[in-house]
Structure 1
């Protein structure tokens, strides 16, 4: 096939646009004489006229007659129709495999029907493969311009339905209608919207997978062929294009034939892509087909690789042999209705447009494939960061032979300019007014001619300025000696290093020296905190004002005055004038006013239950100047220390196990003036103690019940007597 559409590229407004490469059209084979060919049926309303054959396969319904005329043959479900149908499926599959050169998804072909220059001009398409990812519409005038090349190929690939508005026109200039193909995966409908009731004048071959419907009086120079649908006509005039050819490759007359028939050889050449980078491999597929009725003998093809291509073995062929030195493919005998295929892989070694021609021997015709080989993408190495007002120099390698210069796109509106450049290096300058930030720069290797330049190499240029003096967020309020504080950068900037230091008697940095914040311990004399902001472009320094930390009072000492008569009472043993003492009650306790905090040199606590235990704390704070607090002093608080209820146990077990071995009278320790006497059941005195210490063990006594008499003197000086039994259990 005459393959490859050279893509149109406009890169940075400096590259030359490339022209469309030629590609060859598929051969219609047995279907080339059919104006319409459906899968199920072909039906016509009114008097349609077909200048060609009409047929169906596997269906058998063709109803153009009697009102209409088929000036060719009618093949309804015949073997000829089946052979034609096979070739239609082949053409459909081949068209679907063409690589698109432009994606028109969402666009309308034609400029509609509103009077004006746009509608008159319409839409012009040059040779190439145009793709729609979804439905497509033609509304108005669509022009195919071969630009003087009669072999120009036009393929419209529609992955959906194709709708053509009534009144639309498809015109062709400087090319053949045989090389216009509409490949449609859905259905084709001519007759919705547009200029309702107005005939359309169309050109081209509609190869559709499903149904095709032509509106009233539509004319077509071309074919309507369906692989799996029906065709509906309505007073249409359809004529085959003239002259009838089978594609861009030449139809050969064939070589000397065998048997009673005559051979008919045809050569086509295809390539596996449109654009390659130097060093890539490209694969060519050459096919020779014999559509005649007789064998072709002594068939040869010459395919000598041109400069810029280097053969990559092995060569694949299903018939004959290929001589890599001479480039001659010797097929030998090619029977009727058979095809020979050769695949050649070559490495691209030069840039530019390369045309590779395959020539069928004995004057049997030729076909060519044109590719675009673009330069390798350059590799750029250099600084990623630069200071405002500075320069950055880059080294460039991987430059392909034939590259004439580097195209460098830098954001000049931001003050970044190209100061110098060669094929192997360039220098960028950043102005003094360029704002810090990240700027994209792209580098492309430029080649002469109408092919493509290299792919772009992207650079992210980071522009930095020297730091400005940072602002420090300092602790609020007065500072106290020995206390740790945090200082931080108010608005840190990425890419800047912040280094901290402290000065002054007793001042100390207790965290890392670098970072956006620092932990500092205040000293006893005047001091300050300093930070230096730095990057590759300079430094800036900021210091806090000098401060004199306050001195905290001495840690207080707590006196525990708790007792039966005083309650849970605590006081400062060394109170200092001008100092405030703040107390905090533990859980389970409150102060006399039911609060959990209190101030003063002494406090009294109340317990929520008689067994409560906790830790009472107090701190000393200066009342004037800096409110610096001392370290906290603490004392253990036990509700039992001020308990007043005397509770003698009725049983205890002095068995030496360390549990309940003595007779302990609860709260008796709070009554130091007491007398205790123990009697046995006969009234004999067996134990007597003055100021009992909860230490009776019933030593030498047997398990039994004994009787006690306890006298205690209260805070009011009055005695209170308690009597009762106590059981000794070993």
Structure 2
């Protein structure tokens, strides 16, 4: 510094001190997920004269350009330019065609997605937001999903920094056929015709989408098969989308024509023997009410007709002449213990379950009263009665034969 005064000069030495320039150490964290405000900047100033007016950490920063000014105690300033970056948006998209599950239960559907953006490597979870997440290869961007049922699926994606995305894939609902067979029989010309009707799941709204094949034969549009051969069979239902399912095997019975033969059974009994038909028979005897029994009792001689009907409505009729055997009443007995005619009672009465008879002596005194199957041994109150004639009154007590018999017989000793 030179000082001039009236031409005179003098030198003065001054000590000038200049402070150091403000510098800083910058720590920068960029945004981890596209669109988030997760960036941060940490500035550590040095130089100049502290303290400094800027905070050391700036947080919750979105992507962008920032300028921070540092002021020291002497109002010296320095600026810091920072650019916070963010990754490309993490997103997934469907690539390639969807392979649909054709038949429900096959689980043969498939699709693929492509993931981009974010930070690799990627992880994924199918249909479960909470994972577990499976990590892909380091540079893998295509992910395949196979063995899937039809319907909606959601793939959840995570990148290396925890950013997430999801994609919905709407697959067609698989075809539900579940064909079931119902076998029915009707009578035609005294023989059984069979019908096999196939029903499918109610989810199939358009029956025209289905056709049917018996035992892997040719397909037909009708779901009814007529006069299928006896034996074991299946029917395949086929949807126009290609789904095919078989019924549970079913059996067609070998039903022969219904026939009826009449023959003699026990005393005054007609036996009707039916063969063929459905095997579940009902009989009517001389136009009486139908019954499941095939044995009938007659109460007089004549020509009798029996008709049999099976569960399919087939009928067969047979007629035959039968001879009635009347009640047998002995006219004597010999209660002498020789095993021959030792008791007295009516015979040929097996069909009269409610019959009763009373025995009287010549004075009208009741000696005994009996029912079916019981016989008189010639005693009265344990005392043997003498030879002679005795009287009886026999009542059949049957709604089809209510006759009474009155007569006498002889006791011989």
TM-score normalized by the length of structure 2: 0.41
- TM-score (norm: length of structure 1): 0.26
Larger of the two Rg values belongs to structure: 2
Q: Which has the higher helix share?
A: 1
